[in-house]
Amino acid sequence: METLKDIEAVLGPVPAGPIVGGQVAATAATLAVVDPATEETLTEIGVGDTDTGVAAVDAAAAAMSGWAALAPRRRSEVLRRAYELMTERGDALAHLIVLENGKALADARSEVAYAAEFFRWYAEEAVRLEGTVETAPAGTNRILVLRQPIGVSLLITPWNFPAAMATRKIGPALAAGCAVVLKPASETPLTALAIAAILGEAGVPDGVVNVVPARNADAFSSRLLDDDRVRKVSFTGSTEVGRLLLAHAARTVVSSAMELGGNAPFVVLADADLDEAVQGAMVAKLRNGGSACTAANRFIVHESLADEFSGRFATAMAELSVGPGVQPGNTIGPLVNAKTRDKVASLVQGAVDGGARTLTGGQAPDRRGYYYLPTVLGGVAQDAPILGEEIFGPVAPVVSFRDLDEAVSLANATEYGLVSYVYTTDLRAGLQVSERLDSGMVGLNRPVVSDPAAPFGGTKQSGLGREGGHEGMLEFTESKYIAVEW
Ligand code: NAP
């Protein structure tokens, strides 16, 4: 399945433009979708403008009351069917992700499994939307609290997990009874459109899920957030854009859930098992080729282990095979575009200019496609600029520390707070450090935290709210309190 045509033969046709009210909407403009492995255009699709966005809100508003009134069991069954269809067509979807995003096929396959799991999990949650009844302290009445769907929701997703970031929002929104307008990233619109087609086939009524690739993301979201019918914005992307959206949302006081950038520390304590720490470092760094908000971004290693850790890590990174993601032997595909690759290259150059040693990699290979070699930088200064930026590529700076307080203070020295990783053989120390780390999630002797059953999200400028778990569905509801006497 190397071409879009091969993929569509298995997956079914990928809609060639915005899906509004169950139909492909006519558009005035088109967008070229590029394969990052070849730098060639895969296809052109129609992109919407603000009018398309308003039409999508019209469709969502019209469809929402029927969807919300449907029995939760029925909504659950539709989501379950979507999980089954996504799983049956998982391989074709994974190939589609590789084509437009570039990631390695193994990463794309695990993304599809993870993405589909949100539909299964929220199929199970849809029938568990509970409320509460209490006796008022004065004894005069009851306090009845219901959870109701919040309303039409605007979902905006990034390119790095084009399937999972969409399903992590659509699943809970649909379970709660909301209708949505999803704007996917311009680099990767095809996966979201293919998922919309699957949802239609699974029985989601027209208008409940609208997907609009859009030409001008700022104008598009701004217009939709000015529409009184839009009551939720759920965004995953950079902190910079998150701040803009929060400012837009303030105008109409729209409930906002923000999954933003990260700068994850990977802390290796003096008693860590080095084999486990290096294996964990490889996974925490390289999931998605390093283009993950959860990617370990800074390796903070006890000074007694730093050289040994860096050497072993560099050896393992040097053995990776870099090339087109579609070839199963390649573990590192290209980055998504030239801008992302150039940013990675300039961060590495800055670190080297500041005295860091390149233990492996340190350059873009001389080939077509937006590749960057897996890189380990040793002896990075504690105040090096690379430690303050989200790298978003296969680059690992290693910095050393002397004692626990210094490790915690280095780890927390960032405006981000999405996830931290800790490696130690002393569980007590590991839990103590985990409590002191200022992040929404911690991987303790574990390099992956993402799980549809767990609340995913960050502290500080990594975001607001949580996705996944029961909390993820509550984000798409509002409490209704009824004071009642009986
Ligand atoms: P991005 O540039 O912020 O874009 C994300 C989405 O926002 C895209 O759909 C983009 O549309 C849209 N957008 C861009 N400018 C906008 C504006 N002014 N107003 C409204 N929408 C706008 O992020 P990215 O480069 O795609 O993704 C990488 C970032 O996402 C990283 O910072 C990463 O950490 C973060 N991320 C966070 C999580 C998490 O769960 N915390 C998960 C994954 C990724 P266009 O593509 O059309 O410009």
DSSP secondary structure string for all residues of 416-437 = EESEEEEE-S-HHHHHHHHHHS
Q: What is the pLDDT of residues 363-386, one digit of tens each?
A: 999 999 999 999 999 999 988 999
CA 341 to each of CA 286, 371, 481: distance values in angstroms, whole numbers, following the listed order: 15, 7, 51
**Which atom of ligand 1 is found nearest the CA of 156?**
9
Q: How far is the CA of 236 from the centre of ligand 1 (A)?
A: 6
Fold of 4-260+462-484: Aldehyde Dehydrogenase; Chain A, domain 1 (3.40.605)
Atom 19 (ligand 1): residue with closest C-alpha? 218
One-letter amino acid identity for 249? A
Choose which residue among 52, 118, 221, 238 to substitute to test ligand 1 binding: the one with the highest number of ligand atoms within 8 A of its C-beta: 238
Q: Are 294 and 462 in contact (CB under 8 A)?
A: no
Q: Where are the beta strands (DSSP E) in 218-311?
A: 230-236, 255-259, 264-268, 296-302
**Which atom of ligand 1 is found nearest the CA of 336?**
25
Choose which residue among 47, 49, 97, 160 to substitute to test ligand 1 binding: the one with the highest number of ligand atoms within 8 A of its C-beta: 160
Query: Which residue ranges make up each domain of the chain?
Result: 4-260+462-484, 264-451
Q: How far is the CA of 156 from the centre of ligand 1 (A)?
A: 8
Closest among 371, 333, 369, 372 to 39, alpha carbons compared: 369
**Which atom of ligand 1 is found nearest the CA of 261?**
34
Measured at the alpha carbon of residue 45, what is the angle toward residues 44 and 46, in degrees to the nearest 5? Answer: 135
Atom 9 (ligand 1): residue with closest C-alpha? 185
CA 172 to each of CA 58, 223, 467: distance values in angstroms, whole numbers, following the listed order: 21, 24, 8
Q: Are 94 and 103 in contact (CB under 8 A)?
A: no
| The total number of residues written for the chain in this structure | 486
Q: What's CA 62's distance to the chain center, in Å?
A: 29
Residues with CB under 6 A from ligand 1: 156-161, 165, 183, 185-186, 217-218, 221, 236-238, 241, 244-245, 259-262, 293, 390, 418, 458, 463
Question: 153 is written with which tokens?
Answer: 């929701």
Top-tier CATH class for 264-451:
alpha beta
**Which atom of ligand 1 is found nearest the CA of 237?**
30
List 416's β-bridge partners, or say none: 460
Atom 17 (ligand 1): residue with closest C-alpha? 218
Q: Report the pLDDT value the prediction gives residue 1, as an integer from 0 to 100.
A: 84
Closest among 57, 219, 79 to 151, alpha carbons compared: 57
Q: Give the helix ranges, DSSP H, for 254-399.
A: 274-286, 306-318, 338-353
Q: How far is the CA of 311 from the centre of ligand 1 (A)?
A: 34
Closest among 345, 347, 402, 397 to 376, alpha carbons compared: 397
Q: Are 347 and 391 in contact (CB under 8 A)?
A: yes
Q: How far is the CA of 159 from the centre of ligand 1 (A)?
A: 7
Q: Give the helix ranges, DSSP H, for 140-263.
A: 164-176, 189-202, 217-225, 239-252
Alpha-carbon distance of 205 to 182, in angstroms, equals 16
**Which atom of ligand 1 is found nearest the CA of 183?**
9
Q: How far is the CA of 219 from the centre of ligand 1 (A)?
A: 15
**Which atom of ligand 1 is found nearest the CA of 262?**
34
Q: Are 179 and 209 in contact (CB under 8 A)?
A: yes
Residue 70, φ and ψ in degrees, nearest 5: -65, 150
One-letter amino acid identity for 29? A
Active site residues: 259, 293
Three-state secondary structure call for residue 457: coil
**Counting runs of H as helices and runs of E as strands, what totals does the chain give?**
15, 22
Choose which residue among 293, 340, 342 to substitute to test ligand 1 binding: the one with the highest number of ligand atoms within 8 A of its C-beta: 293
Measured at the alpha carbon of residue 396, what is the angle toward residues 393 and 397, in degrees to the nearest 5? Answer: 130
Establish whether domains 4-260+462-484 and 264-451 are of one fold.
no
CA 239 to each of CA 101, 204, 205, 431, 436: distance values in angstroms, whole numbers, following the listed order: 21, 32, 34, 28, 23
**Which atom of ligand 1 is found nearest the CA of 186?**
46
One-letter amino acid identity for 93? L
Q: How far is the CA of 368 from the centre of ligand 1 (A)?
A: 25
Atom 23 (ligand 1): residue with closest C-alpha? 237
Closest among 118, 122, 116 to 94, alpha carbons compared: 116
User: What's the predicted TM-score (pTM) here?
Assistant: 0.97
One-letter amino acid identity for 5? K
Reduced to 3 DSSP states, what percent helix, strand and coil does the chain have, rounded to the nearest 5? Answer: 40, 25, 35
Atom 47 (ligand 1): residue with closest C-alpha? 186
Q: How far is the CA of 160 from the centre of ligand 1 (A)?
A: 9
463-464 and 255-259 beta bridge pairing: antiparallel
Alpha-carbon distance of 345 to 363, in angstroms, equals 7
Atom 14 (ligand 1): residue with closest C-alpha? 217
Question: 252 is written with which tokens?
Answer: 């109409």
Q: How far is the CA of 101 from the centre of ligand 1 (A)?
A: 14
Segments of the chain scoring below 70 in pLDDT = none
Alpha-carbon distance of 249 to 242, in angstroms, equals 10
Q: How far is the CA of 217 from the centre of ligand 1 (A)?
A: 10
Atom 43 (ligand 1): residue with closest C-alpha? 293
Alpha-carbon distance of 133 to 215, in angstroms, equals 47
Q: Report the pLDDT value the prediction gives residue 2, as an integer from 0 to 100.
A: 85
Half-sphere exposure of 74 (CA within 13 A, CB side): 10
CA dihedral 301, 307, 309, 314 (to 10 degrees): 120
Choose which residue among 47, 154, 220, 236 to substitute to test ligand 1 binding: the one with the highest number of ligand atoms within 8 A of its C-beta: 236
Q: What is the pLDDT of residues 107-140, one digit of tens each?
A: 999 999 999 999 999 999 999 999 999 999 999 9
Closest among 68, 23, 18 to 181, alpha carbons compared: 18
